[in-house]
Structure 1
Amino acid sequence: MSRLFPTLALIACLTFGCGSNEDQQTTTDRGPQTDEFVAPTESVDTDIAEGSSSVPDEATESLHIAPTDPTSSVHPKPLLAPGLLSRTTPAPKSAMVPPVDEAVVAPPEPYDVVRVFYGTNRNRTGSPNPKEFYGREQSDVSYGHCDVSIPKSHKKGKLESPSIWRFEFREDPKKHIVLLDVEEKSQHQFMSELQHVVWNSMKVVDTEHGPGLVGGEAFIFVHGFNNSFEDATRRCAQIAHDLKFQGAPILYSWPSQEKSSLDGYRADGHMAGWSEEHLINFVTQVSRDSGARRVHLIAHSMGNRIVSAALRRLTEQCVNQQIPRFNEVILTAPDIDADYFKTAIAPYITQTADRITIYSSSRDIALKLSSLFNPLARKRLGESGRELTVFPEYGNIDVIDASFVETDLFTLNHSYHASSPTVLNDIELLLAGYTTEERGLSSMFNRLAWRIREIGQQISDQVTSSQR
């Protein structure tokens, strides 16, 4: 009897079929079984054959998948992982799956961003708009940083802005230098972030004298007459970008009245005087706490009055203390009485800087107008030609005549420090430590002054600041 039941079972299976319930389903429920369905492995087999793969036979046998229900939500696992496929056989490019970092490539940024740190004794307006963040009234010093766009198409010396001649009515960071945002910080946060940027900009390079440090520097830019906070920030960012500055650009913005009238000029003169004490404290903090290897001061136009007076007072206040030292003090188109500077400022300012460089021009129309506004002191320090002021008694004051550099048409020739590629190249070499002779300048008055030549632009192309 024990052999009878298996025999009967075999007969029943042959007679009625021995499939499962799933095999007997019809199209009214889940559809017929598709015995013909197999995984599409023919192309893989072909690729392996054509590539003379070293995959063993037992591995290729696993490429054939058992019949699977195509309507099932559970899909078979990949037979050969893309990484394994790429390692064992030269599969076609269409079958290759690159690593994630190659497959997903972020598009290039349409513009560069320069971070400008700032201190200002302008009032907060309460507006979230970066252009209107600070006003024209006096206040306590605020600290923070701004982000400014520099378009990829930027040309050295240009401050790209919308132009109605090009039918541009809105700012576009891809085309223009734009103040993107302003973020105010506490004094502690400001200095901490400044230290971080300064430290990260420092690197070791090989020089002819062995390993040396470059970067890790800071410059403080003080703007001139008739400048808004936005104007000054955009200009500071453009200068930093064009100088290829390795460090932290810093702006000190005083409350200019942003008026080009005679009344506005006089009001700005008063505001500049009231800002001296704030600037003294600010530059002292940066010099002492920023961690920068070298700190430079760059002043333009009326901003030279604030910088000069601040450095004089700083020297007077530190009679029995160590005077904060600045490496390069650059006075561009200085709107300050030349005789007053020579007698009352120069003896003090030379004690606070390694070198002082004064850029002047005989074509500066703005300074000629300033002489009319100051009838008792007609000669301005930033004027050259017959009005050029020299300092034979000081070995660390260089006077540069920039009368013959290129300037834009229909301008006052007053912003050549930032608009002339030749002057920017000279300042770049100056900050890198090159002397007037090394920068290719022409001697005037038996080396009491120097004239910029066009060759300065060629020299800058060959010599970069990282070489010193």
Structure 2
Amino acid sequence: MKHLPKRRLVVLAAVLALAGCAGGPHNVLTPIEAQAPGASRVDILVATTRSPIGAQPGELFTGERGDQLYYADIAVSIPPDAARKVGDVQWPESSPPDPTREFATLRADILQRPEALARFNARIAKTPRRQALVFVHGYNTHFEDAVYRFAQIVHDSDATALPVLFTWPSRGKLLAYGYDHESASYSRDALEELLQSLAADKSVGEVSILAHSMGNWVTIEALRQMAIRNHGLPAKFKDVMLAAPDVDFDVFQRQIAQIGSATSRFTIFVSRDDEALAASRRVWGDKPRVGAIDPNSSPYQQDLKNANITVVDLTDVHSDDPLNHGKFAASPEVVRSIGRSLASGQTLATGGAGVGDRLGQVVVGAASTVGSAAGVAVAAPFAVVDPRTRENFSGDIEQLGSNIGSTFGAVGGR
């Protein structure tokens, strides 16, 4: 067996360290009775292709694929501003949570489509410009992770749009990348169905979309299908914001060419220090990922200008995100600028198909070989950049067990 390079060994060691400090409650969507004084409330309507079958109390939906589009209505309490840092999700340390300093759930209802539509229409009528904001999460994301992260984004951005979460079946495990990727593709028809419903709903004035990481794949594919079917995107689709897209730039160009950007403002958030996308490029070869390009270099500058796409370069923006993959949500100034853009209707100031099948094959295949540690080291940068998801490494590391030990032994002394 080949020895692991020192850089990869360092990544593996970091994974092990994170796994060792993992912990925290699951199934946090069990409602509490009262909201704390000074806390804020975010009400989110959910459309999901996840399955409710086998879900534990307080979980609602699993990471398995559902046979239809399901709906839910969830209210999240966010602790007073003095007790939290903008850009962070204050995860409960125990159950029930302390709403004075932690996120908590106030309501969690699974709905049938007619009731979900009735609640949506009642709320959209009260929002400025009758605007909906659809969020699509990335790889390695449990259902509650998606809910709480979106609640944080809505709160910290001061967005007045009606929050609509589209969440697809991610198992929330590092070594389930292949499953997650296929689940994203599995869900593109359902996302198009949701977007078509918003387009046809006369009570909706504007629709904005925010996607992250692998969520860009399912989002762009759904928009592509919609544009082909409808001969373009509806005029009410105002903003499409693509954060850290882990998508091949050549593929992205073809997708955008078929979507067209005449009616919608497309904005890409890029960061050249995004470690997750750097790892993706090492896996795939020399093809750049959209979220890590240098927007001022050739040919990207001219290509994006020709496509009428705005680029927000976050390379010099500091955040507590250790991989620089989630700056759009973790950086206070960035998340607030998103809210200002949504409120004003103005363009932002410039300033998990991502890796695809090959990574799925590398990581999942490695799990049954002596080189399993190498697979984890390659995959480590692709974890969702929320500290709570560190615990997702634990089961994978345990699964690899003795293989990791043997690898360390092979590398010892180098």
Above 0.5 in TM-score? yes
1:407 and 2:319 equivalent?
yes
User: Which of 152, 169, 179 is matched with 1:267 structurally?
Assistant: 179
Distance 1:150 1:161, change over 3 A: same
> CA offsets, 1:296-335, max 9 Å, x none?
010000000001011111111123x884641000000011
Distance 1:179 1:408, change over 3 A: same
Give 1:233 deviation, angstroms: 0.5
Residue number in structure 2 paired with 1:114: 42
CA contact (8 A) 1:350 1:356 kept: no
CA contact (8 A) 1:157 1:418 kept: yes
Amino acid at match of 2:164: I
Residue number in structure 2 paired with 1:426: 337
| Greater relative CO, 1 or 2 (CA 8 Å, sep 6+) | 2
Give 1:170 deviation, angstroms: 6.4
Give 1:395 deviation, angstroms: 5.6
Whichever of the two has the greater Rg, that structure is 1
1:349 and 2:349 equivalent?
no
Distance across 2 between alignment mates of 1:361 and 1:289 = 36
CA contact (8 A) 1:311 1:352 kept: no
Return structure 1 stretches of 4+ with deviation > 4 angstroms.
321-325
1:245 and 2:154 equivalent?
no
Distance across 1 between alignment mates of 2:57 and 2:199 = 31
Amino acid at match of 2:327: Y
Residue number in structure 2 paired with 1:145: 73
> CA offsets, 1:189-243, max 9 Å, x none?
1111111111123xxxxxxxxxxxx352110000000001100000111111112
1:135 and 2:62 equivalent?
yes
Distance across 2 between alignment mates of 1:234 and 1:124 = 18
Distance across 2 between alignment mates of 1:218 and 1:414 = 25
What residue ranges of structure 1 are gaps of 5+ in the alignment? 1-105, 202-213, 443-468
Residue number in structure 2 paired with 1:302: 214
Q: Output the aligned Cα RMSD.
A: 2.5
Distance 1:180 1:291, change over 3 A: same
Residue number in structure 1 paired with 2:143: 229
For 1:316-465, list aligned pairs within 5 A: 316-319=228-231, 323=234, 325-342=236-253, 344-351=254-261, 353-375=263-285, 378-385=287-294, 389-390=300-301, 391-394=303-306, 396-408=308-320, 411-431=322-342, 432-435=344-347, 439=349, 441-442=350-351
Distance 1:322 1:313, change over 3 A: closer
For 1:55-134, list aligned pairs within 5 A: 109-127=37-55, 129-130=57-58, 132-134=59-61
Distance across 1 between alignment mates of 2:106 and 2:48 = 18
Give SS of 2:291's match: coil
Report percent identity of matched pairs: 30
Distance 1:285 1:118, change over 3 A: same
CA contact (8 A) 2:35 2:77 kept: no
Give SS of 1:399's match: strand
User: Which of 286, 304, 308 is matched with 2:198 structurally?
Assistant: 286
Distance across 1 between alignment mates of 2:319 and 2:161 = 28
Give 1:383 deviation, angstroms: 0.2
Amino acid at match of 2:211: A
Give 1:354 deviation, angstroms: 1.8
Distance across 1 between alignment mates of 2:78 and 2:164 = 17
What TM-score comes out, normalization by structure 2 length? Answer: 0.69
CA contact (8 A) 2:36 2:79 kept: no
Amino acid at match of 1:350: G
Distance 1:371 1:353, change over 3 A: farther
Distance across 1 between alignment mates of 2:119 and 2:310 = 34
Distance across 1 between alignment mates of 2:346 and 2:164 = 23
> CA offsets, 1:72-100, max 9 Å, x none?
xxxxxxxxxxxxxxxxxxxxxxxxxxxxx
CA contact (8 A) 1:311 1:348 kept: no
Give 1:178 deviation, angstroms: 2.9
> CA offsets, 1:28-71, max 9 Å, x none?
xxxxxxxxxxxxxxxxxxxxxxxxxxxxxxxxxxxxxxxxxxxx
What TM-score comes out, normalization by structure 1 length? Answer: 0.62
Residue number in structure 1 paired with 2:86: 156
Distance across 1 between alignment mates of 2:287 and 2:38 = 48
CA contact (8 A) 1:315 1:352 kept: no
CA contact (8 A) 1:325 1:352 kept: no
Distance 1:126 1:350, change over 3 A: same
Distance across 2 between alignment mates of 1:292 and 1:247 = 11
CA contact (8 A) 1:284 1:324 kept: no
Distance across 1 between alignment mates of 2:141 and 2:152 = 15
Amino acid at match of 1:149: S
> CA offsets, 1:235-262, max 9 Å, x none?
111111112111310100000121123x
Distance across 2 between alignment mates of 1:275 and 1:293 = 25
For 1:41-60, list aligned pairs within 5 A: none
Distance across 1 between alignment mates of 2:274 and 2:189 = 29
Give 1:154 deviation, angstroms: 3.1
